[in-house]
A = this chain, B = another copy of it.
């Protein structure tokens, strides 16, 4: 074999090897996601991603109330979800649905048309905090979270800020309802909301001394009940936790913003 002949043969072999690798990789991807797996056939080995998709769906459909931390094997799934664009797109999609509903609401215009927004991971994001807590795989660290909140550096969630602005300009009385402690966290929270553009809300309602120790559902239900007794009509209620959207006086429509990083029981 000539020198050139050898080179061609060697190169052809390498090309074959590289292409086989690609073809195999692509084929296994197709097998894993596209082919029809008959119900009666033995189950294919479950990939971590698929298991974590099931976990996240169960969380978002409220099948796992009170879950504690993100399973460690789902760390990279949650990271990819939160940082790779899908979380942002999911939030944007829900906000589109909310705005479509808002556009159909006929306000009475007596100053009693109300809307409720949760604060943490609804209006402003704790993603940068949870990034350093393995996206929720680490157990909740109350001291660390307070220190983070005191910084007042939670960025706005852009789509929700847009919704907020439309609600305020549209004549809704917007109530921001949060489990954050009034005594310690109110000033930093109010400053944070202001520096992120949440301006023009009607009231921020914190968890004060009288609600200490109550569950999120009990506390938020009680506050909403008081608002209804004051004469407010709650047209909508938006939160990232199912406990924002359960209990009494929920409002005419509720909307769940995704949050696979933590659960407030």
Contact = CB atoms under 8 A, between A and B. Distances in A.
Given A58-B97, A63-B256, A93-B55, A37 B5 contact: no
Given A35-B84, A90-B54, A97 B60 contact: no
Contacts of A4: 2, 4-5, 7-8
A33 interface: yes
Given A46-B89, A62-B256, A64-B97, A83 B155 contact: no
A51 interface: yes
Interface in A155-177: 155, 158
Given A4-B5, A61-B258, A89 B50 contact: yes
A215 interface: no
Contacts of A254: 62
10 contacts: A4-B5, A22-B22, A33-B80, A33-B84, A36-B83, A39-B88, A53-B90, A54-B93, A58-B94, A62-B254
